[in-house]
Structure 1
Amino acid sequence: MERKTILVIGTYDTKDPELNFVADCIRKMGGSVIEMDVSVLGDPSRPTDYSKHQVAAAAGKTIQDAIDAGDENHAMQIMALGASRLTAELYAQGRMDGMIALGGTMGTDLALDCARALPIGVPKYVVSTIAFSPLIPPDRLSADIQMILWAGGLYGLNDVCMATLSQAAGAVYGAALAVVPPNPDRPVIGMISFGSSALKYMVHLREPLMERGFSVAVFHGTGMGGMAMESLTEQGYFAAVLELAVAEIGNLMVGSVVNAGANRMTAAARQGTPIIAAPGFGDMIDFATWQPVPERFRDRPYHAHNRLLASASLTGEERRELAREVARRLKRSSGPVHFILPTQGIHAWDVEGMPAHDPDALAEMVDEYSRVMTDPVALSVLDCHINDRAFSDRVLEIIDGWIADGTIALSVRRGRSAPVRSGGVGSRRIGGPMTEPSPPW
């Protein structure tokens, strides 16, 4: 079995024994280790492969610059930039097969940047005292990051934290041995959706798209799924994206935690990746079932999907506001954008007899989308429900047109490299800086 090399990242001045323990666990399994020290003030017990001075230099700074930055936040941002650049470089050179980083809030902040410097399929593990905590915004996470809660890991080796660290070492090394990296021989289409009990288009579209020569990746639009799709879109991974459900934007608009961050539905616009969009589930607000229903939603139609996720309806004016925000994001794109507007409903719960059925608010939504989806966005208004075949057939017609005119290429070029930040496979490339949107709420 091929020997794998794992990059171990951490602050060796404060977590030297813990980091050495992880490295030793990997070596006992037959692996190799590259150690990267991202400390600022102290030194490790023995030299690491990459010193703190080399990390700072990769950011164009010195350790003294980090010390002189004035506070630990600015100092660690220097180290995070250098560490993420070195991580990408090591992977591009074929010198490492996975990464593991340890930390509290400081180390986790840096580790998230290092993980985002690696493409999907490269094992990236973060052992953190705040793993998947609300402190971590969705848009800081890479698409396939693995986080492990570091129990008893704040200071010093002990039986509790060694149990966690040894499992984490085994997890990252096992993943490096077992991973089947994505290297499709066909262009990939990214699609956002919800379960087939609510939205049917993914069932109608997947096989026809595969028959046309695409691989199809469907993401669950519950915040984390949208984050993963956005991350891969930012890397230029998709030939086209099907943004057919906009609930994550609505959740962001009203302050729900079930969102994918402020940058959702902006990466494709920056890349110039072709976009087909629709208002799927753009009439509901999602929140945790296990928390009290927010006061402003207590008198609205309510649906408990399970013990984790519940939804309440948006008013007609809130749907109009959401339509304006979706249009604002789509219109930023220099690539082709086509919006499909089904006038008879946008998920299975808004049909007659179901609790979310509100024909007046639906009419307001349709009116607003019809008004705001103007050039450069192309608009198709369909007298059907989003779950009808007519909706999916229109998506396929647009895809076929883009294939015919060369907007989407049915060929791919891939290699071992760090994530792409501009341009994409089978997409139109646009330049310019990555900018964050400025939501009006």
Structure 2
Amino acid sequence: MEDKTILVAGTYDTKDDELGYLAEVIRGQGGKVLSMDVSVLGDPGRPSDISKHEVAEAGGSSIEEAIASGDENSAMQIMGAGAAAKALELYRGGLIDGVIVLGGTMGTDLALDMCAALPVGVPKYIVSTVAFSPLMPPERIPADVQMILWAGGLYGLNSICKASLSQAAGAALGAARAAEPPKRDRPLIGMTSFGKTVLRYMVALKPALEDRGFEVAVFHATGMGGRAFESLAAEGAFAAVMDFAPQEVSNHLFGGLSAGADRMTNAGKSGTPQLVAPGCYDLVDFVGWQEVPAQLKGRETHAHNRLLTSALLDADERRQVAQAICGKLSTARAPVAVLLPAGGCNEWDRPGAPLHDASGLAAFCQAMRACCPENAELHELGCHINDAEFAAKALEIMDGWIASGAVKTG
């Protein structure tokens, strides 16, 4: 039964056999294929369903302009923009159910743009000679992309690379068949947090919000989780956000696990009401198995596990975080409320706890008071972020927004 259609994309002028093999495996499992050629100079051995000319035009350019650029980097960026636009058009038109993109560094560069253009939840696979490589900055990796190393596949088919290609083909088709798209039958609240050992408000808030008719999605704010959160916020997928763990803003400022420069901006741009609190604002996360970044040496640190270590910011750096958060919120096009828990902003930030810094917390609170934008309501609380009083205040504000119609319940 031909039930799902997978878009297979790559440079058909140089990788026709490999791309053809992917298509062969998908069709052999009962799926359908649309082929997309993102070549610039050469032509495929047989016509693709979507030609390189269509791809370039979808990006507002042409193959002639790509060639005339005289530079392979510029040319492939033209094709990347077109491939991203075309893939989204095909998905919105109901013509594809998932994608596979194949390539080396050039194809992977294009694949990142193409997959990032598709909504969270659409199966997207990259078969790459540089899979999982540090060449790829976190902010360019699509939130829910799957990737497999194209081992032994730089030039021509063989039994080694077929193992990777066949797995990717089967995975993409299987994912398209099994995927359960977001239902959107209830308004969605997007919330950021960390595990319950450090932040616990979601334990009380999630059931309370569900009782009010919302669906609640909690995003782990360790870089990629923030990317997924921002991607959905940019789509306007949330009825409101409770962005209570904006540590990725601190990470971006001081060289930690960034979710990108647009962290904490997309809800505001899309007109989504924002409830904000500074959970873990005082920490910068970095890769635990690497050396401490030079700018963070000599700090108090907490090794969360072998993958992740957090470094404590000083008072001046905390002021910079406050200014960054307030600057991002100042452009919001919907209601903004900021909760400022003066008793501490993570479980390690309590009197007697290992990362408590009373003067640093006071400096942050003072900076938030000084630079909180006029479009945001500041609610100072005498409690800790993990206390029941914090969650109760968040619900009180949300209930007010519901009553005023700022947050829709249906």
With the length of structure 2 as denominator, give the TM-score of the two structures: 0.97
Q: Could you tell me how far apart the structure 1 residues matched to 2:16 and 2:206 are?
A: 49
Letter in 1 for 2:49: D
Say which is worse superposed, 29-38 or 286-295, in terms of deviation.
Answer: 286-295
- Runs ≥4 residues deviating over 6 A: none
2:312 counterpart letter in structure 1: S
Change (3 A) 1:305 1:62: same
User: Which of 1 and 2 has higher RCO (CA within 8 Å, sep 6+)?
Assistant: 1
Say whether residues 1:101 and 2:84 are aligned partners: no
Deviation at 1:2, TM superposition (A): 5.9
Distance in 1, matches of 2:50 and 2:294, equals 52
Q: Which residue of 2 aligns with 1:161?
A: 161
The whole-number CA distance in structure 2 between the counterparts of 1:263 and 1:15 is: 35
Deviation of 1:298 after TM superposition, in Å, equals 3.6
Deviation, 1:117, is 2.7
Q: 1:114 to 1:294 in 2, by over 3 A?
A: closer
Partner of 2:235: 235
**Residue segments in structure 2 that go unaligned for 5+ positions in a row:** none
Q: Is 2:224 the partner of 1:224? A: yes
Q: Deviations over 1:281-313 (max 9, x none)?
A: 011111111112234434322111000001111
1:187-226 maps to which residues of 2 (within 5 A)?
A: 187-226=187-226
- Over residues 351-409 of structure 1, what are the superposed CA-to-partner deviations in whole Å (9 max), with x where a residue is unaligned? 12221011111111111112211311110000000000111111111111111111111
Partner of 1:424: none
Equivalents in 2 of 1:366, 1:305: separation in Å? 26
Rounded to whole Å, the distance in 2 between the matches of 1:221 and 1:157 is 40
The 2-side partners of 1:382 and 1:215 are apart by 27
Aligned residue identity for 1:39: S
Q: Structure 2 counterpart of 1:151, which letter? A: A
- The residue identity in structure 2 corresponding to 1:269 is G
User: Which shows bigger deviation, 115-124 or 160-169?
Assistant: 115-124
Pairwise CA distance, 1:119: 2.0
Q: Could you tell me how far apart the structure 2 residues matched to 1:398 and 1:251 are?
A: 28
1-side partners of 2:137 and 2:276: how far apart?
25
Q: Aligned pair in 2 of structure 1 residues 401, 2: CA closer, same or farther (>3 Å)?
A: farther
Report SS of the residue matched to 1:348: coil
Give 1:122 shift: 1.7
1:183 corresponding residue in structure 2: 183
Aligned to 1:383: 382
Q: CA deviation at 1:322?
A: 0.6
Kept in 1, the 8 Å contact 2:120–2:228? The answer is no
Query: In the alignment, is the contact (CA less than 8 A) between 1:143 and 1:232 conserved in 2?
Result: no
Q: Could you list the runs of 5+ residues in structure 1 that have no partner in the other structure?
A: 412-441
Question: How many aligned positions are there?
Answer: 410
Which string of whole-angstrom CA distances, capped at 9 and with x for unpartnered residues, describes residues 108-144 of structure 1? 2222222233222221111122324333233333332
**Counterpart residue number, 1:259:** 258
Alignment of 1:16-95 (within 5 A): 16-95=16-95
After superposition, where does 1:282-361 map in structure 2 within 5 Å? 282-361=281-360
Q: Is the 8 A contact 1:129 1:151 kept in 2?
A: yes
Secondary structure of 2:198's counterpart equals: coil
Please tell me whether the aligned partners of residues 254 and 295 of structure 2 are also in contact (alpha carbons under 8 angstroms): no
> Is 1:250–2:247 an aligned residue pair?
no
Q: Distance in 1 between the 2:136 and 2:298 partners?
A: 31
Residue identity in the other structure for 1:397: E
Residues in 1 aligned to 2:2 and 2:397: alpha-carbon distance in whole angstroms: 45
Contact residue 329 and residue 373 of structure 2 kept, 8 A = no
Give matches, 1:274-285, under 5 Å.
274-285=273-284
SS at match of 1:231: helix
8 A Cα contact 2:2 2:31, kept in partner: no
8 Å Cα contact 2:139/2:258 also seen in 1: no
Contact 1:193 1:219 in 2 (8 A): yes
Change (3 A) 1:52 1:295: closer
- Identical columns (%): 56
Partner SS state of residue 311, structure 1: strand
Q: Corresponding residue for 1:419? A: none
Does 2:361 align with 1:362? yes
- The two structures have a TM-score, normalised by structure 1, of 0.90
Q: Tell me, in whole angstroms, the C-alpha distance in 2 between the residues paired with 1:212 and 1:81.
A: 41
Would the aligned equivalents of 1:139 and 1:263 in 2 still touch at CA under 8 Å?
A: no
8 A contact 2:275–2:336 mirrored in 1: yes
